[in-house]
Amino acid sequence: MNLLFSSLFLVAGLFLSSSALSVEECRPLITPLPRFEPVSLLCWVCRLALAFRIFSILFKTTKSQWVDFIQTSPDHKEFVQDIGISLGASQIVSTSNYSAFVLIFYFPESNFTCTYHSLPTCEGCLLYTVDSRTNNQLIHIMNIDEPKTIAEVKSYRAFYLMAKESTIKHHELAHAMKQAKCLGFTGEPDFIYDPKDTLCDKDEQ
């Protein structure tokens, strides 16, 4: 399968040098689109998270990632989400079924609920935030017993930028970083895609 994905270097200075935006300036940047419309076969360009150290550690060891949203019902409410993650020497390719109720996706395997908000972004890109909630089932699966970590797993927020084309313009990236700052995400991303790293093969699942 020959896939073209975004090759993009993210500079931490984009986060640190941008001046704070006013509420009026932020409003059009972070007003969600009417519906979340997944695009097939995207490369994860960058990710930021508030709290949730476990996922942050995982993403810092990740070399590349892709996601494929496959619609399985005509009403846009049932999807299959395929994810491929390369950790260097090892690869993970997984499939999850989920149902969409407005912007709330429910993963029955782990009783994991995510609220997605898709934001305005560049053509061929997908930019969205995720507010996730889970129960003790996932905590038990992950064998977590530290109180602070349990609180992080039960509730966390993340900001994702994905792209399908081979390039993304600097001003488009800067625009996404402004959106992240308006939403309270600061600091460096805990995942940055390096085009030197290859993507794992979807057919290896």
Q: Does residue 204 fall inside a structural domain?
A: no
Q: Does residue 150 fall inside a structural domain?
A: yes
Q: What does the pLDDT read at residue 145?
A: 53
Q: Does residue 43 fall inside a structural domain?
A: yes
Q: Does residue 3 fall inside a structural domain?
A: no
User: CA–CA separation, 110 vs 117, rounded Å?
Assistant: 21
Query: What are the Cα distances from residue 73, in Å, to 77, 97, 107, 152, 178?
Result: 6, 12, 16, 33, 35
User: At 200, which helix (H) or strand (E)?
Assistant: none
Q: Does residue 114 fall inside a structural domain?
A: yes
Q: Does residue 6 fall inside a structural domain?
A: no
Q: What does the pLDDT read at residue 122?
A: 86
Q: Does residue 79 fall inside a structural domain?
A: yes
Q: What does the pLDDT read at residue 7?
A: 29
- Tally of residues, the chain: 205
**Coil, strand or helix: which one is 68?**
strand
Nearest to 126 by CA among 183, 165, 184, 97: 165
Q: Does residue 205 fall inside a structural domain?
A: no
Q: What does the pLDDT read at residue 17?
A: 44
Query: What are the Cα distances from residue 203, in Å, to 42, 85, 87, 110, 195?
Result: 16, 13, 17, 24, 21
DSSP 144-177: ---HHHHHHHHEEEEEEEEE-SS---HHHHHHHH
Domain with residue 24: its CATH number is 2.40.128.20
User: CA–CA separation, 141 vs 127, rounded Å?
Assistant: 29
Instruction: List the structure tokens of 128.
Output: 């969205």
User: CA–CA separation, 79 vs 200, rounded Å?
Assistant: 22
Task: Check residue 14 and give left, alpha or beta (phi > 0: left; psi -120 to 50: alpha).
Answer: alpha
pLDDT by position in tens, the chain (length 205): 333 223 222 333 344 344 578 888 899 998 888 776 666 666 666 666 554 455 565 566 777 777 777 777 777 667 777 877 777 677 766 676 666 544 555 555 555 666 777 888 888 888 888 777 665 554 444 454 554 544 555 567 788 888 876 567 788 888 888 898 888 887 777 777 777 777 777 665 5
Find the domain containing 175 and state its range: 13-197
Number of domains in the chain: 1
